[in-house]
């Protein structure tokens, strides 16, 4: 098994009012040195064995493009880990 960690976040040009609300709350709590907050989505996909690295890259990119991220406003990246080792 492999563990795929997918990170989806808004493109730089997109306003993220939720992240701004979190940032303001941190300032209210006194963390004046926090200059920026990003708030996105994180997925862990457990993938069965049997695919080559290239096949897995192809599949994960397809999943991200189709469903996990909206290319219009979001970017994504992912890391592939050995699931047993990760546990």
Give min distance, CB of 48 to other proteins, in A. 22
C-alpha count within 13 angstroms, C-beta hemisphere, residue 56: 19
Cα separation, 26 vs 42, whole angstroms = 21
C-alpha of 31 from chain center: 25
With CB under 8 A as the contact rule, which of the stretches 29-37, 51-59, 63-71, 75-83 interacts with other proteins? Answer: 63-71
The SS3 of residue 71 is: coil
Q: Which of 1, 20, 46, 86 contacts other proteins by CB under 8 A?
A: 20
Of 31 and 71, nearer to other proteins (C-beta) is: 71
Interface with other proteins (CB under 8 A) = 13-18, 20-21, 41, 67-68, 70, 72-73
């Amino acid at each position: 098994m492999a563990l795929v960690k997918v990170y989806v976040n808004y493109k730089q040009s997109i306003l993220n009012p939720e992240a701004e609300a979190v940032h303001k709350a941190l300032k209210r709590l006194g963390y004046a040195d926090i200059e920026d907050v990003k708030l996105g989505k994180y997925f862990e996909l457990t993938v069965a064995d049997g695919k080559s690295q290239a096949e897995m890259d192809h599949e994960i990119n397809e999943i991200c493009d189709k469903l996990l991220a909206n290319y219009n406003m979001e970017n994504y990246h992912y890391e592939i880990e050995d699931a047993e080792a990760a546990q």
